[in-house]
Amino acid sequence: MGFDVSSFIEQLINGLTVGSFYALIALGYSMVYGVLTMINFAHGEIFMVGAYVGLYTMNRLVDVGLYDSSKILAVGITFIAGTIGAAITGVTVERLAYRPLRRAARLAPLISAIGMSIFLQEFIRLLPNMGEAITSISIGSFTLFPENIQTAVVGFLQEFGGSRVKTYPGVFGVGGFDIGDIHITYSRLIILIMSVLTMLGLYFLVRYSRLGKAMRAVAEDKDIASLMGIDIDQVISRTFLIGSALAGIAGVMMGMFYLQIRPTMGFVPGIKAFTAAVLGGIGNIPGAMLGGYALGLGEVIGVQFLPAVYKDIVSFSILVLILIFKPTGILGEVLAEKKM
């Protein structure tokens, strides 16, 4: 097998694109771990919900013609909608499934998270069925909802969710440019730039804003933080909001990049982003970004030597190796007993 430098560089750029997805999702895992010391295993599904809300919004913008008249505006609105959808989902999950278990044994919120993960997947998958079941309730010959409402509700829900694969319009196109022998598509470049800007924004938020300081204080010691007058529940809720918003951005981006979305799409990126978060040092925000890119690059380098189908094996081997040899990750520190 010959070694082709320009195709290797293209692969590296590919790795950075995939790494951007991992990094954006990994941040949510790490931020939540920072304030709650729990792994939000429903995070991959929050990412998926972001992709669905984004697609629904985009399809409506196509319907009203905005997509054709101003593509940039339509894409912007799609991102905002997907981000808000994911953020609301994340905050709701925290409120309903994690907050009541705040003082429970450590295993309880973890199991609750796995439950939420399955729930969200099935919820999106079964939405049209549920809509049909509810709107066709009848008592004797009396139907609760007239037929036209039933059709409208089921139609709407079919547009939104369902078990079948849904497809984003090809927003980015297939265009690109060449530097020497190296071909770079615009889509990868856009994803890379957007991700880096988003993460810079997050970094400054955590570093300099009042909320960011409160988040770091809560991560270090909740009791002492509350003695400063910090409302712990509110800070935790906002941490979920921000982490989920980032997952929503990643969800819409991934939809636009790979085009196809499905209810199970959150699982593999979710667990890989978790790997990235562990790789960088869970609880550490720059670590999550670094871990995401390192994992993306690790995958493409791995498949230089192995068949491409071994990609996932490379990722998860990395996870196992880190957990054995450096459980604190690249930037992580020793986890204090009291945080466990």
Q: Which of 144, 149, 193, 227 binds another protein (CB under 8 A)?
A: 227
Q: Which of 110, 232, 259, 297 binds another protein (CB under 8 A)?
A: 232
Is residue 282 part of the contact set for another protein (CB under 8 A)? no
Is residue 223 part of the contact set for another protein (CB under 8 A)? yes
The 8-class DSSP code of residue 339 comes to: G
How far apart (Å, rounded) are the C-alpha atoms in residues 192 and 177? Answer: 15
Our CB check for another protein shows the closer of 191 and 206 to be: 206
Is residue 224 part of the contact set for another protein (CB under 8 A)? yes
CB 124 within 8 A of CB 263: yes
The 8-class DSSP code of residue 96 comes to: I
Q: Give min distance, CB of 282 to another protein, in A.
A: 15
Of 46-54, 161-169, 228-236, 263-271, the segment contacting another protein by CB under 8 A is: 228-236
Q: Please name every residue paired with 260 in a beta bridge, in sequence order, or none if there are none.
A: 167
Backbone φ, ψ for residue 68 (5° rounding): -80, -35
How far apart (Å, rounded) are the C-alpha atoms in residues 321 and 72? Answer: 43
Of 69-77, 222-230, 273-281, 311-319, the segment contacting another protein by CB under 8 A is: 222-230
Is residue 221 part of the contact set for another protein (CB under 8 A)? yes
Of 39-47, 109-117, 146-154, 208-216, the segment contacting another protein by CB under 8 A is: 208-216
Q: What residue has token string 């190796």?
A: 321
Of 211-219, 249-257, 267-275, 316-324, the segment contacting another protein by CB under 8 A is: 211-219
CB 29 within 8 A of CB 40: yes
CB 86 within 8 A of CB 42: no
Is residue 216 part of the contact set for another protein (CB under 8 A)? yes
Of 121-129, 169-177, 188-196, 226-234, the segment contacting another protein by CB under 8 A is: 226-234
Q: Give min distance, CB of 72 to another protein, in A.
A: 37
What x-and-dash track marks residues 24-53 binding another protein by CB under 8 A?
------------------------------
The encoded tokens of residue 281 equal: 């040092």
Residue 179, SS3 per DSSP: strand
Our CB check for another protein shows the closer of 181 and 220 to be: 220
Is residue 214 part of the contact set for another protein (CB under 8 A)? yes
The 8-class DSSP code of residue 309 comes to: G
Q: How many chain residues interact with another protein (CB under 8 A)?
A: 17
Is residue 226 part of the contact set for another protein (CB under 8 A)? yes
Q: Give min distance, CB of 100 to another protein, in A.
A: 16
Q: Which of 95, 99, 213, 339 binds another protein (CB under 8 A)?
A: 213
Q: Does the CA dihedral 200-202-205-207 come out positive or negative?
A: negative
Backbone φ, ψ for residue 181 (5° rounding): -90, -5
- Cα–Cα distances in Å, from 136 out to 22, 145, 175, 201? 42, 7, 47, 47
Is residue 210 part of the contact set for another protein (CB under 8 A)? yes
Q: Give min distance, CB of 113 to another protein, in A.
A: 25
Q: Give min distance, CB of 34 to another protein, in A.
A: 11
- In 10 A of CB 73, how many CB atoms? 12
197 CB contacts (<8 Å, ≥6 apart)?
none
Q: Give min distance, CB of 226 to another protein, in A.
A: 4
Is residue 220 part of the contact set for another protein (CB under 8 A)? yes
Cα distance from N-terminal residue to C-terminal residue, the chain: 48
CB 28 within 8 A of CB 39: no
Q: Please name every residue paired with 184 in a beta bridge, in sequence order, or none if there are none.
A: 177
| Residue numbers at the binding site for another protein (CB under 8 A) | 210, 213-214, 216-217, 220-221, 223-232
